[in-house]
Amino acid sequence: MLSRWDRLAARDRVWLEDGGLIMGFTTHKDWVAVDRDHVWHPYSAIGADLAVFPVQSAHGVRLRLADGRELIDGMSSWWSAIHGYNHPQLNSALEKQLADMAHIMFGGLTHRPAVELAQRLVALTPDLLQTVFFSDSGSVAVEVAMKMAIQYWAAKGEGVKQRFLTIRHGYHGDTLGAMSVCDPATGMHSLFSASLPQQVFVAAPECPFAAPSCEADSQAMAAALQEQAGEIAAVILEPIVQGAGGMRFYSADYLRRVRGLCNQHNVLLIADEIATGFGRTGKLFACEHAGITPDILCLGKALTGGYLTLAATLTTYDVSHTIAGAAPGLFMHGPTFMANPLACATALASIELLLESPWQARVLRIEKGLHDGLEPCRELDHVSDVRVLGAIGVVELTLALDMKTVQPAFVEQGVWVRPFGRLVYLMPPFVIEDEDLRILTGAVVSVVRRLNEVSGRLAPLSA
């Protein structure tokens, strides 16, 4: 019987190089076939009948496929690549750090990139946020925030405060704690509901971003805190923009009211700015729209400009010193790759690149381009809403999309757009030019216009 290696070698081309046995592929179709049989993708199944598109390289706002086609990226690689791809300043920072060290453990050791990055994040965020915990991803940053809140109250002798209060339509990540504060009904994690901590959910605000008042919306939050504050460690929410839970924008007044309610009922406030941090909404951080300071702030995605995975959880001296002042006298979390030097150095370069650029003018220009370009979708019967805020554009449909037909249709248009559910949305890199933005929005209009109003599939091109 052939070994697993022999079976692979028989299927793929194998050659000797420098005395070692190396597996290779004759064409990109070969490695896509191996991908299909062996590689998990986000929210996918092994062997699924869904197209994946092999990328050979990326530069600026374009992804170059292995077959030579180029796609304008409308996703910023899930909202992280705000400077586009292959940026010389970020490449240089990575290469320079690589010459010193790629990684060292952060337990008992430290290094300059981590300290400088912490210093920069403290300077950029509200004054009360003074301490920084680095982790590997946005989901872990949320886990860290939740553990901080629980340990804070335990250190104060209020260990019964173990639960979290949040609003529906939220998304905070895919790890167990983060899943527990994602929407339990419309979210992606109902399969695991029996294994998750049971949190407290209230209706999400209905007042839109520009609305001046949200008193009615905040009544559900106020009632929940009035009844259950004694067991609530923190309120956690995505400020201003709810991301993967529905791409909803809500009033800054609501966020101000929640901050006030948390103060009134002695509950911490966690702001999940994994998606909104670093300029995406037109402010450096979405909390700035409301002028509030959370007790704990989660950052990720655009932190390194999309180069490497890194996240940060910032908190106050009150939280960090309270945790340190009670048994066991330390915060109980410590990732292996915490504060990876390559990631920290790249994050420093990304932040510098952002702040030295006219990023606010760019986001305003993108906002206008998205508004003008997506507006024709509003006339379509199967479109329920078109909304734009900063460098985020959303077309909400009345029907669920069929990804088997919709995703390839965008590729045929020469753009990379990754819809989900009933939503087609754009979050392009900040460096996108007007003409590329017009192509992106034009592709969205074209594909949405062709959608069958009943099935969500695409009508023929001649339709």
pLDDT in tens, 94-148: 999 999 999 999 999 999 999 999 999 999 999 999 999 999 999 999 999 999 9
Residue 215: predicted pLDDT: 83
Span 227-283, pLDDT tens digits = 999 999 999 999 999 999 999 999 999 999 999 999 999 999 999 999 999 999 999
Q: Does domain 43-73+359-449 have CATH number 1.10.3720.10?
A: no
Residue 211 has pLDDT above 90, yes or no: no
Q: Is the pLDDT of residue 188 over 90?
A: no
The burial class, CB within 10 Å (0-12 / 13-18 / 19+), for 361 is exposed
Q: Which residue is catalytic, options 147, 161, 283, 301?
A: 301
For residue 102, CA distances in Å to 111, 310, 345, 353 come to 11, 14, 10, 22
Contact between 171 and 242 (Cβ < 8 Å): yes
pLDDT, residue 193, reads: 87
Alpha carbon distance 179, 256 (integer Å): 25
Residue 301 bears catalytic tag: yes
* The CATH number of the domain covering residues in 89-355: 3.40.640.10
- For residue 16, pLDDT over 60 is answered with no
How many Cβ atoms sit within 10 Å of the Cβ of residue 435? 10
Per the confidence metrics, is the pTM higher than 0.75?
A: yes
Residue of 164, 126, 83, 69 lying closest to 315 (CA atoms): 126
Contact 437, 444 (CB under 8 A): no
Q: Residues 60-79: what's their mean pLDDT?
A: 97
CB of 340 closer than 8 Å to CB of 117: no
- pLDDT reading at 2 higher than 60: no
User: Quick check: is 425 catalytic?
Assistant: no
SS3 389: strand
Q: Where are the beta strands (DSSP E) in 390-431?
A: 392-397, 415-416, 423-426
CB 164 within 8 A of CB 234: yes
The per-residue pLDDT for 63 is 98
What is the widest separation between alpha-carbon atoms in the chain?
Answer: 72
| Numbered ranges of CATH 3.90.1150.10 in the chain | 43-73+359-449
Of 44-53, 85-94, 343-352, where does mean pLDDT reach its minimum? 44-53
pLDDT at residue 18, as a whole number: 41
The active-site residue out of 136, 147, 161, 171 is 171
Residue range(s) of every CATH 3.40.640.10 domain in the chain: 89-355
- The catalytic position among 43, 49, 127, 381 is 43
Three-class DSSP category at 130: strand
- 171 flagged as catalytic: yes
